[in-house]
Amino acid sequence: MINQDFNTPIIGFSAFSGTGKTTLLTQLIPILKHRGLRLAIIKHAHHDFDVDYPEKDSYKLRHAGAKQMLISSAKRFALMTELSDQQEELTLRELVEQIDHNQTDLILVEGFKREAFMKIELHRPKLGHPLLFHNDDNIVALASDEIVAPVPSDLTLLDLNNVSSIADFILQKFQIDPSCHQSLPKI
């Protein structure tokens, strides 16, 4: 499991498209940040994407043939790396290795539901999707907007509409003390 290979805690949010992973994360991130955590986010995209625009110099330089394009300002920097057409998509492990762990207390991951790492499943019964935890031993909690039964006794049930309780669960699960910007030893 990826969690055991890194000192920085990693928790994912796994669900079918349209369940509200991004919506939850946009609500959860400010809560965790307010509690003092320095966060890194990794989001999986199922399609081609570009963070640059054709009229920008960085786009022109990258499309002129640069394999890597690093752009920097006083407020942020971004590194764009072109993958070859024959190259496989990077694994979650390879992406986690790209994170500056010295600047990060917690890594939140959206997607990558087939990878082996600790996850919270999001479920909305009205959407009619099957539960994922039946086939994924890495799911440690189920966040739903309705009561779901039966579930294994070792699976924590969370209210999908109570984002603060989800933040509390994450801090407790990893024994994170936000005041010292690091996770405490696992017991």
CB half-sphere exposure, 27, CA atoms < 13 A: 12
Average pLDDT over residues 68-95: 84
Predicted confidence band at 29 (pLDDT cuts at 50, 70, 90)? very high
- Which pLDDT value is given to residue 64? 84
Predicted confidence band at 186 (pLDDT cuts at 50, 70, 90)? very low
- Which pLDDT value is given to residue 48? 64
Predicted confidence band at 22 (pLDDT cuts at 50, 70, 90)? very high
Residue 181 has pLDDT above 80, yes or no: no
Judge: domain 2-49+88-183, CATH 3.20.20.220.
no
Predicted confidence band at 49 (pLDDT cuts at 50, 70, 90)? low
- Which pLDDT value is given to residue 187? 35
Residue 73 has pLDDT above 80, yes or no: yes
Q: Which of 48-52, 120-124, 127-131 has the lowest mean pLDDT?
A: 48-52
pLDDT in tens, 140-177: 999 999 998 888 989 999 999 999 999 999 999 998 87
Q: Which long-range contacts (CB under 8 A, 24 or more apart) does 21-26 make?
A: 21/110, 21/111, 21/122, 22/110, 24/122, 24/143, 24/160, 24/163, 24/166, 25/108, 25/110
CA distance 7 to 30: 23
37 vs 71, residue with greater confidence: 37
Average pLDDT over residues 122-139: 96
* pLDDT over 70, % of the chain: 91
